[in-house]
Structures are given as structure tokens and as C-alpha cells.
Chain A
Amino acid sequence: MADKILRVVNALLAITRTVAAVLLVLSVIINFANIIGRYFFSVSISWAEESMLFLMVGVVFFGCGSVSWTNRHIRMDVLVNMMPTQIRKLFELLSDLVFIATAVAITIFAWPVIMDLAAFDERSQAANFPLVIPQSLIPIGLSFMAAMVAVRLLMRSRLAAPVRPAQLAAPKAPGD
């Protein structure tokens, strides 16, 4: 059962990572096409700016599932690392539980906004793109992150060994 869940999680993460990378590439292509169009053909893409911004929202919230699953969000962990292991684990658990509660709360608070955007078919000015799509990426992304954290917690409690790095399967990212 646990293996099946891990397989599903890895598949979902592979998909979301792929989507995040593709959205990033699309954003670069639109930016470049806009510059080429403006300087060589005197035509700029009116929807370029808006669509790149929406793509960036997508990159962030599709990519964050992997960050949450691998527990690699930016944090100041030097003090915690000096604490005894049991206390550190307790704080990690607390952090995960608080995150799940926060993500659920924000999703609930965001729901009326998303419903209104859908009901009134609000669209972006230049791209005429339904705003419900990029806006809903925030609650969807947070819910997905919360789900990843919840699965990670469940896996930890059910498996004798912690989730192996290979199962986490996230690219190594340098910090700033």
C-alpha cells in the first residue's frame, strides 16, 4: 500500500515538475518572441506580459509540490539543528501540521474569490484570459503542497525507514 502511494506521489510530482519546467520555457519563448517581434517586425505581442505573469504563477505553484515533498523550503534551521533530535522532530512535525492547517484555511478563504471570478467570467485585460485559471493556481497549489506534506507525514509514521532520497526524486537546487 505504502509503495503504491509512493508511486502515485512520484508520478504526480514528475508531472507537476514537468509542467513547471514547460511553463518556464514557454515564458522564455514568449519573452524572446516579443522582443524579436518588436525590434525586427515592429509588432509587439499585446498579451505577452500578462501571459508570462500567469505562467510564472504556474511555475511557482506547480513547482512547490516537489519543494514541499522534499521539505526543502527556505528556512533558518541553524538554531533548530543545535537542538536535540527529538525536539527538532517535534518542531518539524509542528511545522508540517501548521502548514496543512494554513493551506486549508487559505483555500477556504480563497474559494469565494475563485467562485466569483468563474461566475462573472472575469478576464485579463490584454490576453482576455479567464482570470479564474491563474488565480485558482494558488489554492490548488497550496492544497497540493498540503497533500504532499500529509502523505510525507503518513509515510514517515507507517514506514520504519524514512522516505529515501531516491523516492523523493527532486532536482538538486542551489540556494541564493
Chain B
Amino acid sequence: MTGYLVYFGLPVVLLSIGFPVFLILLVTSLVAVIFLADVPMETIQTYMFGSLDNFPLLAVPFFVLAGEFMAQGGIARRVIAWVMSMIGGVRGSLAVTTVAASELFGAMSHTAVGTVIAMGRMIYPSLRDNGYNDRFAVGLVASSGAIAVVIPPSIAMILYSMSAQQSAVFLFTAGILPSLLIGVVDAAYVMGYARFKGVPLAARANWVNIWITTKEASWSIGTLVVIFGGIYGGIFTPTEAAGVAVVYSVFVTMCIYREVGFADLWRILTSAAFLNSQILIIVTSAGIYSWLLTTSGIPQQIVHAMNAMQLRPWEMLLMINVGLLLAGSFLEPAPAILILTPLLLPIVVAEGVNPIHFGIIMAVNLSIGMYTPPFGLNLFTSQAVFNSPIGRIYAGVLPFVAINFATLMVITYVPSISMVLLGSRH
């Protein structure tokens, strides 16, 4: 009982009174080492260092840095113009553009908030001008931006791969179809919405415009070629691909587009170092917490308790999904994955769920949590970007929460959507 109070009760109390996540993990670990676990005090230092001493984790600082360059160097603008030029002549084309451009920019920048900011600033005014009401437009941008958590190569998946001891490349591969499915379902919904609301038809796509925007965006799109081509072509590891993405984005934004100068360069570097510190201090604190939790035997006890409840696998997965959705609306994906993976993974594995498939379920779920009322981070980002009342934003995202939760159920109960591309490799 004491163990549950320390490992769960204490973090929940500290979380609700606003303690930083890394501090909650450190305090809990410290209390556990002093009062509960039969381990030497030096273990804290060893595991804190060990959790950072992990090569795949290096992809995180590189992707963060690359994302900073892309967000500030004109790449987002060109990607949006490119997608917009190709999707014309259908009702709802601008809304579909928002979904598609969010997927593309999310895959390049790996940041949900960054994607919401970029899409919000560039597409939101056009959405309003083209007959979409404020509630829908805000809901669309806030929810589409969260796709960055799922679409590979995502930082959430890298952290999960580390926490669950799974291959990051397998996770990236498994994430391709689910993220496309989310995009397709969202696109179908927004097209239906546009038809129902009688949103005016956009101009037809024309080859001249497509050619011009493609030429303009070709260097931006090259980022995807570098990342995906490098990883799936077996040329780079994900970490190396992330590093190459940094060099490539520096080259494109500074030498080709010339939208980042030397003064901006320093600002971007310090900003990326700051952001990396914010994320990775949680990783280092989660290392000791996860180890103590795992060795405490609590996850095994929970597995036994779940077995005793004789839940069918689908019931257990539904319960976990609802729990994750709640957790995701309070916590950002990175800390949620680092805290919950060591607890949930043994439970689902005992029920026969593949760890790679569960990683995708977690990522999709936590991405929905980012715009689930009342506390999803994208909601407050949208409030800052659009200056809309929070009530209107809540109303705007609710249809997307419902639709994407339904998609999550499909992804959860049809594992082949995630696993088919892995073939016999897993």
C-alpha cells in the first residue's frame, strides 16, 4: 500500500499542485530510495546518467533543432502553398489542405504546438475568408497540429522506443498507416462539413500554379526525402537522419531561402538548447523513476489484479485508452510516455498486445489528448494564436476529438493497420 502511495499518490498530488514534472519524478524516486527500495543511494546518479546515455535519444535534440529552423525559416509557408495548389476544385479543399499540410509539416518539424502555430498563422485567415466559421477553423487547426505526435519520425515514438526497449525504426514504420488513416478520416469529415455548410468551391488546381509552388517548395519537401529516404533506405539510423535534417534545414533556410541570418541562428540555437533541456531533464528523471517502479513489483501486481478481474482484452484496451486520453489531456506526450510506459506495457503485453502496436496506440491517444478539453496543450496554444474564447475552442475541437477517438478505436482493435508494413520483421 505504501508503495502505491509513493509511486502514484505522491506524483498525483504534486502534479495537481503544479510541481514541475521532472521534480515530481525526482522527489518520488528520492522518497522511494530512502524509505522503500532496498537499493544504495548512489543508484540515483547511476540511473539518471544511464537514462541519457542512450544513442537513439540523441535524435530528440537534433529533431528539436531541425524543427526550430524549419518553423522560422520559411519552410512551413512553402509547404502550405504547395499543398494548397494541388488541392483545389473540391468543396472543403482549404480544410483538407490544413489537414494535409499539418501532416507534412508535422513530419518535418516533429512539434505539435509548432505545427498549430505555423498552420494557424498561415491558414486560419484564409479559412475564415472562405466561409468557414471561427469555431470550426480553430478546432480544425488545433486538432490537425497534434498529428505531429503520431506521424513519423516523432519524438514521442523515440521516447517510447527508449522506454519500452523497442526499435524506433519499427515504430516509425508502424506509425505510417495510422497517421495517414487519421488524415484521411479528418479530410473526409471536413469535406462532409464543407458540403453540409455549403462552403464555396475553391478555384480548380492548375498545372502552372502546381509547377510554380512545387519548384518553390522543392527544397522544403527535400527534408522529408532526407529523413525518410535516409531511414528507410537504410542509409542512416534515425539519430543520424535527425542530425542530417539539422544540417539540411540550416542549409535550406540560410543559403537557399536566406530567411535565417546569423543573428537568428544564435537565437534558434539557444532556443533549441533551452527546449531540449526542458524535455530531456524529464527523461533523465524518468530513468530512475521507471527503474524503481519496475523493480518495485507494482506493475506485476497490477497485471495480476487485471488478470483477476478477468477482463477481455478489448475491455482492458478500452479502459487503458480512456485512461490515456484523460492523462493526455493533462500531460504532454513526452512526460506521459515516460511515466506511463513502464506501468502499462507489462499489462498490455500480458494480454498479448504487441509492444510496437501499443506504442502507436499510445502516440495516437496522447495526440488526441493534446486537444481534448479541458486542458490539452493545443487548446491553450490556439487561444494564444487565434485570440478566441476558450469555450469556442472547446466546441470547435469536440467533433475532432470524437472522430479521432473513433479512429483510435479502429487503430487499437485492428492491429494490422500498424503492423502490416513491418511484415515478418516483427
Contact = CB atoms under 8 A, between A and B. Distances in A.
B42 to A, nearest CB: 5
Contacts of A80: 16-18
Contacts of A32: 243-244, 247
Nearest to A103: B26
B123 interface: no
A63 B155 CA distance: 19
Contacts of A109: 41-42, 44-45
B277 A67 contact: yes
B281 interface: yes
B196 interface: no
B244 A24 contact: no
A8 interface: no
Interface string B1-44: 00000000000000111111111001100100000000001101
B335 interface: yes
A49 B22 CA distance: 26
User: For A31, A109, A134, which residue has the most chain B Cβ atoms within 10 angstroms?
Assistant: A31
Contacts of B330: 76, 78
A79 B377 contact: no
A141 to B, nearest CB: 9
User: For B27, B269, B331, which residue has the most chain A Cβ atoms within 10 angstroms?
Assistant: B269
Contacts of B65: 24, 28
A176 B276 contact: no
Contacts of A28: 62, 65, 243, 246-247
B274 A63 contact: yes
A79 B277 contact: no
Contacts of A148: none
Contact of A176 (B27, B49, B155, B239): B155
Given A105-B30, A106-B45, A175-B332, A20 B20 contact: no
Interface residues of B, number: 71
A77 B61 CA distance: 25
Nearest to B33: A109
B239 to A, nearest CB: 7
Contacts of B271: 171-173
Interface string A57-77: 101111110110000111111
Interface string B239-260: 1100110110000000000000
B45 A139 contact: yes
Interface residues of A, number: 62
A74 B278 contact: yes
A91 B14 CA distance: 9
If over half of A's interface residues share one DSSP class (helix, strand or loop), that class is named, otherwise mixed; here it is helix
Interface stretch (B51-59, B75-83, B346-354): B51-59
Contact of B18 (A53, A59, A95): A95
A2 interface: no
Contacts of A91: 17-19
Contact of B46 (A35, A99, A113, A134): A113
A73 B22 CA distance: 8
A52 interface: yes
A28 B271 CA distance: 16
A91 B58 CA distance: 34
B73 interface: no
Contacts of A110: 42, 44-45
Nearest to B16: A79
B122 interface: no
Interface in B331-345: 331-335
A59 B44 CA distance: 20
A27 B61 CA distance: 10
B49 A31 contact: no
User: For A34, A49, A110, which residue has the most chain B Cβ atoms within 10 angstroms?
Assistant: A110
Contacts of A27: 58, 61-62, 243
A147 interface: no
A174 B111 contact: yes
A52 B58 contact: yes
A92 interface: yes
A102 B26 CA distance: 7
B274 A170 contact: yes
B221 interface: no
B299 interface: no
Given A67-B281, A76-B330, A21 B243 contact: no
Nearest to B230: A35
A92 B30 CA distance: 20
A52 B46 CA distance: 19
Contacts of A77: 18
Contacts of B16: 76, 79-80
Q: Which 7 A-B pairs have the closest CB atoms?
A: A63-B277, A31-B243, A73-B20, A80-B18, A110-B45, A20-B273, A109-B41
Given A64-B281, A75-B15, 8 more contacts: A18-B270, A24-B273, A31-B244, A72-B274, A95-B18, A171-B267, A176-B333, A176-B334
Interface of B: 15-23, 26-27, 30, 41-42, 44-46, 48-49, 52-55, 57-58, 61-62, 65, 71, 111-114, 117, 149, 155, 235-236, 239-240, 243-244, 246-247, 266-267, 269-282, 284, 330-335, 374-375, 377, 381
17 contacts: A20-B270, A21-B269, A28-B62, A32-B247, A63-B276, A75-B21, A76-B16, A77-B18, A80-B18, A88-B18, A98-B19, A106-B45, A109-B42, A171-B270, A175-B377, A176-B155, A176-B332
